[in-house]
Amino acid sequence: MLTIKKPFLLLIGDMTNPRNAKTAFGLRDWAREDCISQLVFSEDAVDLGLPRMTVEQAAQEGAKTAVIGIAPQGGVLPAHWVPVLQAALRAGLDIASGLHSRLKDIPEIAELAATLGRTLHDVRHNTLSLPVGNGKPRSGLRLLTVGTDCALGKKYTAMAIARGMKARGLKADFRATGQTGILIAGGGIAVDAVVGDFISGAAEMLSPGNDPDHWDVIEGQGAILHPAYAPVTLGLLYGSQPDALVLCDDPLRERLNDFPHVRCPTVSEAMNAYLPLARAANPAARFVGISLNTSAMPESEAFETLLRTEEETGLACFDPMRTGVETVVDVLADFPRADAAEGKELKIQ
């Protein structure tokens, strides 16, 4: 388990794309009591709705760790952020980062942290000895959230489902596979920083054998039809051996995030791509729900879209932040149902 000191100052800097500030939004939405303030460099930067403070002000208010709240394409720390991080160290803060580039590999930051006795947390990187996947069936039940694209709600959906299942009295645990989920949950494996041969093994380690009625709710990564991130998705599919899949989609997204030259697949295209691969790992795998991110839609349009998608797929359709997850928890509470795979999934094949 991680031992990152709380509360947090969330660093947004000059990031203007909300999709690339998902680490900060995730912490704000799921660990609000741990977030004191935000630090932005410009007026047009993403606004979390938290008090704006300098690193010195945040430290005076009790912040213990500055968390880099952005996740830009490539996961590289912008060079002009280094002086701000140095100021955070001097103000008495530790630093946590979920970026691919390691804080400990940046001399100006690593040397100052060592001199001042501060701690640097490179959350995306671990020192675990990971096995290759073995593909052996294991006890327990597993749900994996998958998507038509990146940054559209796989983490939120998984956390909401796990919380909803626990509230119902079901045995369930959220399994984090990305930097934000790890910061929130206090543990997990950032699978997009794992060498390809070991991704499925990491997923097996993250969701080991358990009680027959216990659910591991696994945070998905990437997207199976994504030109850049499909490999990590495939590794998670094989290693998770999911019994249940929930597809996440943004109904308004026509092009992949940061890939405007690539069309975003439809719900049916994505489901038909995922299902054969999931069944290669677990022949009983099936979709149990559709999670739509309707945050940018008016309420009436959102509910019309949810209803239409439910009619088209025959699956529980919900927005975890707008409608809650009760409909899909109903399915999971009675899993597997008598009408199992065929009747539900034929609608999208």
What CATH number has the domain bearing residue 28? 3.40.50.720
Query: Do 111 and 150 fall into the same domain?
Result: no
d(CA 49, CA 10): 11
Residue 45 lies in a domain: yes
One domain, residues 161 and 23: no
Q: Which regions in the chain score pLDDT beneath 70?
A: 1-2, 337-349
Residue 127 lies in a domain: no
**Residue 130 near residue 111, CB atoms below 8 Å:** no
**For residues 217, 328, 299 and 247, what is the CA-based torsion angle, rounded to 10 degrees?**
60
Q: Are 297 and 250 in contact (CB under 8 A)?
A: no
Tell whether 279 is covered by a domain: yes
pLDDT at 249: 98
Which residue among 122, 155, 187 closes a domain? 122
Same domain (yes/no): 156, 210: yes
Same domain, 157 and 250: yes
Of 68, 91, 122, the residue at which a domain comes to its end is 122
Same domain for 88 and 205?
A: no
**Cα–chain-centroid distance for residue 337?**
28
Using DSSP's 3-state secondary structure scheme, residue 282 falls into coil
State the pLDDT at residue 126.
77
Q: Which domain holds residue 60?
A: 8-122
DSSP string for 192-207: GGS-GGGHHHHHHHHS
Q: Are 115 and 259 members of one domain? A: no
Question: Residue 341 has what pLDDT?
Answer: 39
Do 203 and 65 lie in one domain? The reply is: no
Domain count, the chain: 2
* DSSP β-ladder status, 259-263 and 255-256: antiparallel
Grouping H, G, I as helix, E, B as strand and the rest as coil, residue 347 is helix
In terms of domains, do 106 and 154 share one? no
Residue 80 pLDDT: 92
- What 3-state class would DSSP assign to 106? coil
In a shared domain, residues 321 and 242: yes
Residue 120 in tokens: 């640097």
Co-location of 56 and 200 in the same domain: no
Tell me, yes or no, whether 332 lies in a domain.
Answer: yes
Q: Verify that 235 and 183 share a domain, yes or no.
A: yes
Q: What are phi and psi of 29, to 5 degrees?
A: -80, -30
Instruction: Report if residue 135 sits inside a domain.
Output: no
Q: What is the pLDDT of residue 313?
A: 96
Q: pTM for this one?
A: 0.84
- Could you tell me if residue 136 is inside a domain? no
Q: Residue 98 has what pLDDT? A: 87
Q: Where are the beta strands (DSSP E) in 221-258?
A: 244-249, 255-256
Instruction: Please indicate, yes or no, if residue 213 is contained in any of the structural domains.
Output: yes
Last residue of a domain, one of 63, 91, 122: 122
Provide the CA 334 distance to its chain's centre, in angstroms. Answer: 26
Given this model, what pLDDT does residue 343 score?
A: 37
| 97 plus 154 within the same structural domain | no
Residue 160 per-residue DSSP state: H
